[in-house]
Chains A and B, each alone.
Chain A
Amino acid sequence: MSADIISLIVKATGQTLYMVAVAGLIGSLFGIPLGVFLATSGRGELFPAPSVNKVLGAIVNATRSTPFIILVVAIIPFTRLIAGTSIGTSAAIVPLTIATIPFVARLVETAIREVDPGLIEAARAMGASPIQIVFKVLLAEARPGIASALTLTIVSLIGYSAMVGAVGGGGLGDLGIRYGYQRFMPDVMAVVVVVLIVLVQFIQSAGDRLARQFDKRARPR
């Protein structure tokens, strides 16, 4: 394999990591609070706002049911507004982030809902405010679940990032399509696949380890 190809692969890996990192970070920044809100704003919960909860839930569902490649082109005007352009790696981060937020939100919501309601009651009995309950009880207790949720998010983002080649986003997926498939270079395709597998394996095991570290619940030793 020529040095050119190798540098292409290195560059594409860098682009993928960049898109995934930024979209993952911003997506989590919005997604985690949204998930907490979704999990706590039902009737009779900590921040009761059932109608807001329903509306946000519907938006989350709508975003999640739109195929990612459609989302990418559908929000091009919004992308242009945010990134100044609709083409390129940085621009691709916008749709990736938009797709990440509801993804994270739903997973975090599930993680939070798994926290024993008895703990919320105990905290209320101690005189905790709803905000204190969120930070000291819900987020603390849901940490293992949230770590797993973010791991899953990043792995999914790597998959999504392969599609942004459609808007010139670059990255490993794009490389695989353009060189591996369109230029009949099976060795490039193979390397792309291997790099992706290694990447996902690494992230998954790092995430699992983090979740295990957070998890102080009973487990066989």
Chain B
Amino acid sequence: MNMAIVKNRARSPIAVAANDEPATLATVQPMVAFEQVSKRFAAGRSSAEVVALDNIDLVVPRGSVTGIIGRSGAGKSTLIRLVNGLEKPSSGRVLVDGIDVAGLDEKSLRAVRRSIGMIFQHFNLLSSRTAFDNVALPLEISGTDKRSIEQRVSPLLDLVGLSDKRDRYPSELSGGQKQRIGIARALATEPKLLLSDEATSALDPETTRSILDLLRKINKELGLTVLLITHEMEVVKSIADHVAVIDGGRIVEQGPTFDVFTGHAHETTRALLGGLAGMHLPEFLTSRMSKEPQAGSRTILRVIFKGENATEPMLARLGSDLGIEVNILAGAVDEIAGRPFGMLVVSLRADDAKIVQAQHFLASHGLASEVVGYVR
């Protein structure tokens, strides 16, 4: 295990930013606030209503990248569409920059929508318009004159790195390029909030990475608040400062991404985290592992280290201080919201008392651990 990497990442500026956030949270009005929002759909003439969202309370801090993660059908799409009024809540308030969009008529809503950009899973670019004209569309809609449109669109194409594609039609662009045009289009009216509806779900991992980097850059450089919904762990893990986990129309967990993901209290969060470092034990281990200790068996311990806690060679000290032989079986380090998070699966040859002692020792240095089983 290379602890040096962990140590470096712990000092990264992003990690510090994430720590500072709760202080600003309390004092500044959030960009978006859902207050006891419910949404019911009529399912059919005779059958009962379908509850898509059930009493949602959720806050999107100003300037944050907030991710809403959930399985398909969990209600994420409905939730994000409440923000720009594409859907109306059955009850509750949806405050965007202090304005309750649920209470607005269509005309006032249109004005609010111009201050909210949105990007989509399938990009939703007009096939009949060039890249330039697609980016220009929201400006045409808001009645901007031709010269101002030219002045606004060109730098946006620069920002997303597609100046050379300005006269290309969407059919001539790759998926990643289409999404970049989608992002440029969403930024055209200089919005204060960007909604991302599964924006990377149709892209390959490498392109996803580059799109997420672009969103991060926009968030940092333009100070734009980003609210994204996704079913992909990777997306939330890599760019969201805040996360809400939604399941069956309810928010089951929310908070700073690192805390939610490393605490993983709720089973939905756990299920979604399946791909996270070390959550799955390797096959060679599970096939030989038993729940109960047997004569001469070794204890399998999962050690979890988070961010700054992982700076000392704890496992080595288990050997030197406590005289316990440690064998590393599996491990992985991951980065969540810019902070390292890792897990080691180790086997210890020691009796129960020593194991308890070892766990205490680790806990006293800020490392959580759990006994997952025993092998002979």
When the two chains form their complex, are residues A118 and B122 in contact, meaning their CB atoms are under 8 A apart? yes
Taking CB atoms, residues of chain A closer than 8 Å to B129 are 140, 216
When the two chains form their complex, are residues B86 and A136 in contact, meaning their CB atoms are under 8 A apart? no
Among candidates A118, A119, A126, A219, residue contacting B138 with C-beta atoms closer than 8 Å: A126
Interface residues of chain B: helix, strand, loop or mixed (majority): mixed
Among candidates A125, A129, A216, residue contacting B128 with C-beta atoms closer than 8 Å: A216
Is A80 interfacial (CB-CB < 8 Å)?
A: no
When the two chains form their complex, are residues A127 and B86 in contact, meaning their CB atoms are under 8 A apart? no
Is A122 interfacial (CB-CB < 8 Å)?
A: yes
Q: Would you give the 0/1 interface string for A182-221, flagging 1 where the beta carbon is closer than 8 Å to chain B?
A: 0000000000000000000000000000000010111100
Is B127 interfacial (CB-CB < 8 Å)?
A: yes
- Inter-chain CA distance A217–B189, complex, in Å, is 26
Is A121 interfacial (CB-CB < 8 Å)?
A: yes
Taking CB atoms, residues of chain A closer than 8 Å to B140 are 136
- Inter-chain CA distance A128–B189, complex, in Å, is 12
- Inter-chain CA distance A25–B122, complex, in Å, is 37
When the two chains form their complex, are residues A127 and B124 in contact, meaning their CB atoms are under 8 A apart? no
Taking CB atoms, residues of chain B closer than 8 Å to A175 are none
Among candidates B84, B116, B126, residue contacting A140 with C-beta atoms closer than 8 Å: B126
Among candidates B127, B142, B171, residue contacting A127 with C-beta atoms closer than 8 Å: B142
> How many pairs of residues, A versus B, come closer than 8 Å at their CB atoms?
66
Taking CB atoms, residues of chain A closer than 8 Å to B138 are 126-127
Residues A104-134 near B (CB distance < 8 A)? 116, 118-119, 121-129, 132
Among candidates A118, A214, A219, residue contacting B124 with C-beta atoms closer than 8 Å: A118
Interface residues of chain A: helix, strand, loop or mixed (majority): helix
When the two chains form their complex, are residues B111 and A137 in contact, meaning their CB atoms are under 8 A apart? no
- Inter-chain CA distance A140–B113, complex, in Å, is 22
| Residue of B whose beta carbon sits closest to that of A217 | B127
When the two chains form their complex, are residues A125 and B86 in contact, meaning their CB atoms are under 8 A apart? yes
Is B120 interfacial (CB-CB < 8 Å)?
A: yes
Is B310 interfacial (CB-CB < 8 Å)?
A: no
When the two chains form their complex, are residues B126 and A141 in contact, meaning their CB atoms are under 8 A apart? yes
When the two chains form their complex, are residues A132 and B128 in contact, meaning their CB atoms are under 8 A apart? no
When the two chains form their complex, are residues A136 and B113 in contact, meaning their CB atoms are under 8 A apart? no
When the two chains form their complex, are residues B189 and A216 in contact, meaning their CB atoms are under 8 A apart? no
- Inter-chain CA distance A72–B304, complex, in Å, is 85
When the two chains form their complex, are residues A216 and B169 in contact, meaning their CB atoms are under 8 A apart? yes
Smallest distance from the beta carbon of B273 to chain A beta carbons, Å?
31
Would you mind naming 14 contact pairs between A and B with Cβ atoms under 8 Å apart?
Answer: A116-B124, A122-B118, A122-B120, A122-B124, A124-B86, A125-B116, A125-B195, A126-B114, A126-B141, A128-B141, A132-B141, A141-B127, A216-B129, A216-B171
Residues of A within 8 A of B (CB): 116, 118-119, 121-129, 132, 136-137, 140-141, 143, 214, 216-219
10 smallest CB-CB distances across A and B, nearest first, come from A127-B113, A122-B124, A218-B171, A127-B114, A216-B169, A127-B110, A126-B138, A125-B118, A118-B124, A128-B141
